[in-house]
């Protein structure tokens, strides 16, 4: 196969494909204006606005600002070259129009990138000119009357119609629609290439010539000869002949994370630096090629499957990184099966891209998070297009049956509810958009109106000045959430437990405000709709501490996500061994060897393990001076008895335990559950 970097040489192709698949829900309504025309109009107004503002910021000519913009773009995907070609074709007309004080709306309508069809309203982003629109447009057309470019712009040609690009377009569109890697030699749905649905979306393949080697599978013969599950663990320990995979991963209950989502789950993001003239520099567009070949999504930073550290200073980690941190046997076991415009209606078109074999692979935690497009569309009347509760029930049940036929036994599925999107208008409508901050001439209310007029809005229902429409949209969202809740409460499946979780909007806002933030800072600033990286990660963090479900299965699930531990026989065996050591009792001489080696990092416990009798004087075992009690008190482990009275100030029970065992606090929670107070209602008292 030809190298992808040699294939990706035509930037307009990716601009077109990315914009057409970006944030707007997919639908088949042929009566609507062409989405490509709407997005072309948005793109034109955006670019002309940036050119105009660059000239203003740098006190330069329009010609100089266009050249400056092109100089900022990277060479990859021929972005810089394409920019100069665009200047060569349209630059002279843009210069004439901007020099005549025409704004971006007028320029794009004059060049016919924006069109007002018969019977359709006039779509504009900025305030209308003081003179009538008709007069202004006629005046602008007179300025460029003799331009040959107008014939080109009227042609409506699609770059994918060019013979040389038709085959590439088809392959890339297919990869996007089916959510499978563009480059996948062995067809196992995993890739060694980062973008175009590669390892930014699902774990990196470690052998792209062998379809039996991929992340998330159970090891083949304990990976004695090769790394069959791509977690980096294989071979045999020469000291004892035990395979490393068996030594480190047996009994650790590895779990993969799979997200079935929309553009929010894929983490749709347009960088504000790309459109803010005052912030633009040579470094602003470094990530643009990656973004274009990822459909303007950033799954590598998403709250569910992100494997890179947060770029916004949030301490919380994605669910995948939590799983990986607690158990490195989970390395690379993530799948982001999300798509811009996805909903319960069209998930069936790409759910086949999910990779899980119920016999060969490890169980997985699956998050179903279609949080918007069942109530969102860009239609002028979005209410009839909303999914009904009955249809949602049918769609979700179809999805769950598919998952039950593919997921290994012991998996978990979480259904996310829909948010109340009235938050958007309430917190953003009167704020200036990044394009309007320089001249204070464009708010989010104007952006919403512009997108709605072009019928390319990601959510007309919530991004509207019509309060009644916003309320109707939220009411339908609540109905759909209740449907998901009922499904989780009533339906049972053989291969997974099913849970429901509310979209914790208010909890996220409260947590962010506690940190000194403002609610509007949780929304993507450019599109004014999607949750940004902060909100996405905070939402997944709230999942870890959710009290929505107070039952044993939910506790097990959050334990897996936090530390991959439950009170099964093996876990109880090694954790209780630790407990006996720390409480001064005899340590087990038959405990699991690998876990005993882990405990040896604490010298005092090491001495205990090496003592055949397994005992030491109690005072040397309890450096904080814990003493036993009398009567019933003798039945209470001495450390537990003494800690409430003798622990150092500010040192919590869990911290002391962690110091003793060199384990994290999630292990400690499980230790107490398994070994100390099973079933006790007083358990939380010892962890506070």
Residues carrying an active site annotation? 263
b/e code 517-529 from CB counts within 10 Å (16+ = b): eebeebbbbbbbb
d(CA 460, CA 84): 35
C-alpha dihedral sign at 352, 331, 252, 590: positive
213 and 205 Cβ atoms separated by less than 8 Å = yes
According to DSSP, the β-strands at 364-369 and 411-416 are: parallel
C-alpha dihedral sign at 464, 535, 291, 351: negative
Number of Cβ within a 10 Å radius of residue 267: 28
238: Cβ contacts below 8 Å, ≥ 6 apart: none
d(CA 139, CA 126): 18
Phi-psi region of 637 (alpha: psi -120 to 50; beta: other; left: phi over 0): beta
284: Cβ contacts below 8 Å, ≥ 6 apart: 72, 271, 273, 274
b/e code 80-97 from CB counts within 10 Å (16+ = b): bebbbebbeebbebbbbb
CA dihedral 133, 138, 144, 148 (to 10 degrees): 110
Q: What angle do CA 663, 664, 670 make, to 5 degrees?
A: 90
423 and 519 Cβ atoms separated by less than 8 Å = yes
Q: Is 531 helix (H, G, I), strand (E, B) or coil?
A: strand
492 and 456 Cβ atoms separated by less than 8 Å = no
d(CA 340, CA 26): 8
364-369: strand order across its sheet: 334-338, 256-261, 364-369, 411-416, 496-501
Token pair for 323: 């799983």
Angle between helices 319-326 and 552-563 (to 10 degrees): 70
Determine which helix (DSSP H) or strand (DSSP E) holds 500, and give its type and residue range. Answer: strand 496-501
């Amino acid at each position: 196969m030809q190298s992808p970097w040699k294939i990706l040489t035509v930037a307009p192709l990716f601009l077109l494909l990315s914009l057409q698949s970006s944030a707007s829900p997919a639908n088949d309504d042929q009566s609507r204006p062409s989405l490509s025309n709407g997005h072309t109009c948005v793109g034109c107004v955006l670019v002309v606005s940036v050119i105009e503002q660059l000239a203003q910021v740098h006190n330069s000519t329009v010609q100089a600002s266009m050249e400056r913009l092109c100089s900022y773009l990277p060479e990859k995907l021929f972005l810089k070259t394409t920019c100069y070609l665009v200047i060569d074709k349209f630059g002279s007309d843009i210069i004439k129009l901007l020099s005549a004080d025409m704004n971006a709306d007028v320029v794009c309508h004059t060049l016919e990138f924006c069109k007002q069809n018969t019977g359709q309203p006039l779509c504009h982003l900025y305030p209308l000119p003081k003179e009538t629109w008709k007069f202004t447009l006629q005046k602008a057309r007179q300025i460029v009357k003799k331009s040959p470019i107008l014939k080109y712009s009227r042609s409506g040609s699609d770059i994918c119609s060019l013979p040389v690009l038709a085959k590439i377009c088809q392959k890339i569109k297919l990869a996007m629609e089916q959510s499978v890697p563009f480059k996948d030699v062995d067809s196992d749905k995993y890739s060694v290439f980062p973008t175009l649905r590669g390892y930014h979306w699902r774990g990196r393949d470690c052998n792209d010539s062998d379809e039996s080697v991929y992340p998330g599978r159970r090891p083949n013969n304990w990976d004695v000869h090769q790394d069959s599950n791509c977690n980096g663990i294989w071979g045999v320990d020469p000291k004892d002949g035990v395979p490393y995979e068996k030594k480190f991963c047996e009994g650790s209950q590895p779990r993969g994370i799979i997200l079935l989502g929309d553009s929010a789950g894929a983490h749709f993001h347009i960088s504000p630096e790309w459109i803010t003239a005052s912030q633009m520099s040579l470094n602003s567009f470094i990530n643009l090629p990656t973004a274009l070949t990822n459909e303007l999504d950033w799954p590598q930073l998403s709250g569910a499957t992100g494997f890179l550290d947060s770029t916004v200073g949030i301490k919380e980690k994605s669910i995948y990184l939590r799983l990986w941190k607690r158990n490195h046997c989970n390395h690379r076991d993530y799948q982001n099966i999300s798509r811009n415009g996805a909903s319960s209606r069209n998930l069936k078109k790409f759910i086949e891209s999910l990779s899980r074999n119920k016999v060969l692979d490890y169980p997985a935690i699956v998050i179903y998070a279609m949080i918007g497009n069942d109530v969102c569309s860009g239609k002028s009347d979005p209410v009839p297009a909303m999914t009904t509760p009955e249809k949602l029930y049918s769609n979700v049940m179809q999805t769950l049956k598919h998952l039950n036929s593919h997921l290994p036994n012991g998996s978990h599925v979480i259904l996310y509810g829909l948010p109340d999107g009235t938050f958007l208008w309430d917190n953003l409508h009167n704020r200036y958009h990044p394009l309007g901050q320089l001249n204070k001439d464009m708010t989010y209310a104007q952006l919403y109106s512009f997108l709605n007029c072009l019928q390319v809005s990601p959510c007309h229902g919530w991004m509207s000045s019509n309060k009644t429409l916003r309320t109707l949209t939220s009411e339908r969202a609540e109905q759909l959430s209740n449907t998901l809740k009922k499904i989780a409460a009533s339906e049972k499946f053989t291969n997974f437990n099913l849970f429901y979780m509310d979209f914790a909007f208010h909890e996220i806002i409260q947590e962010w405000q506690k940190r000194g933030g403002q609610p509007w800072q949780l929304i993507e600033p450019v599109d004014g709709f999607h949750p940004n990286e902060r909100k996405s990660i905070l939402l997944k963090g709230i999942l870890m501490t959710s009290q929505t479900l107070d039952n044993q299965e939910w506790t097990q699930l959050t334990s897996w996500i936090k530390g991959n531990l439950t009170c099964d026989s093996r876990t109880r065996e090694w954790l209780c061994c630790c407990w006996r050591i720390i409480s001064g009792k005899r340590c087990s001489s038959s405990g699991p060897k690998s876990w005993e080696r882990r405990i040896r990092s604490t010298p005092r416990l090491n001495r205990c393990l090496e003592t055949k009798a397994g005992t030491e004087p109690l005072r040397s075992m309890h450096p904080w001076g814990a003493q036993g009690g009398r009567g019933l008190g003798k039945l209470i482990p001495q450390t537990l008895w003494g800690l409430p009275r003798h622990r150092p100030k500010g040192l919590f029970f869990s911290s002391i335990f962690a110091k003793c065992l060199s384990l994290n606090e999630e292990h400690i929670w499980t230790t107490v559950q398994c070994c100390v107070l099973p079933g006790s209602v007083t358990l939380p008292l010892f962890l506070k």
